[in-house]
Amino acid sequence: MKHLISPLDLSVDELDKVLDLANDIEKNPDKYREACKYKKLATLFYEPSTRTRLSFETAMLNLGGNVIGFSEASSSSAAKGESVSDTIRVISCYADICAMRHPKEGAPYVASTKSSIPIINAGDGGHQHPTQTLTDLLTIRSLKGHLGNLTIGLCGDLKFGRTVHSLIESLVRYENVSFVLISPKELRVPDYIRENVLKANNIPFKEVEKLEDVISDLEILYMTRVQRERFFSEEEYIKMKDYYILNADKMKLARQDMIVMHPLPRVNEISVEVDDDPRAVYFKQAQYGVYVRMALILTLLNINVK
């Protein structure tokens, strides 16, 4: 049995197979309509979510399966003090596979050590968000045609933005990828990403503060929200929240073939006027999230559809 706790739990070959399967699901959805008949997905969400929870649920329903779960800790027995370890031992009796989001870093990993069903990390604190990374990789590969030979700018809250950490860890496995890390100094990537991932793998990267200075160099601009829920004080958040706003004027400086991605939800960091620009792909990205989660569920349940 395999879990997905970190994006590195899938080798590059395994990842390619999941993305190929997601592309086939996109082209031939009917072929997969009953692939998970009688199977159950448990969605255990101890933190708010729109896309991840509902795209997982849509994915399982599209595969002909069923869904159980909760969308907030207060409606589960966590509110009475039950541990994640005990909860997952019980959920293992009810469901075939589980997607878990938790505010504590490492909680899905702890669950995986006690589980008899595959556990998928659907976001743990400011740490990792591997299925967002699968979504991002499928988006990049589908729209740019490849995962190597790219200059990608990551902009905003690179400290607390877990999607950024997972994406960097995954993309360094491909040839000739360079990063432009655009953030205020207070929100730079954590040291372990800079030292153990970027420098340790000799990956070209630079850290800058002004988006306008580098936007014309980028093939992909990955915008992120300032993660209000991870700040120690509201004052600190307010100082940072509107540091970057991508608008039509800034888009004029960008290449015609640059794509703008965002894991969503968006707050103010992309002006709505950018939504109509054909280079803005963040809503398409959310659609890719359903295909790739369908592919992941099939892979972890070891279900082959001919």
Binding site for ligand CP (CB under 6 A): 49-52, 123, 132, 263-265
Between 55 and 205, CB nearer to ligand CP: 55
Q: Mapping DSSP to helix (H, G, I), strand (E, B) and coil, where does residue 112 land?
A: helix
Least separation in angstroms between residue 121's CB and ligand CP is 11
Least separation in angstroms between residue 222's CB and ligand CP is 12
Q: Where are the beta strands (DSSP E) in the chain?
A: 40-45, 66-70, 97-102, 119-124, 150-155, 177-182, 205-208, 220-223, 259-261
Question: What is the total residue count of the chain?
Answer: 306
Between 239 and 241, CB nearer to ligand CP: 241
Least separation in angstroms between residue 182's CB and ligand CP is 19
Q: How far apart are the first and last CA of the chain?
A: 22
Between 204 and 265, CB nearer to ligand CP: 265
The count of other CB atoms within 10 Å of the CB of residue 306 is 3
> How far is 70 from 76, CA to CA, in rounded Å?
7
Between 51 and 194, CB nearer to ligand CP: 51
Least separation in angstroms between residue 101's CB and ligand CP is 7
Between 57 and 96, CB nearer to ligand CP: 57
> Cβ distance 12 to 173 under 8 Å?
yes
Least separation in angstroms between residue 257's CB and ligand CP is 24
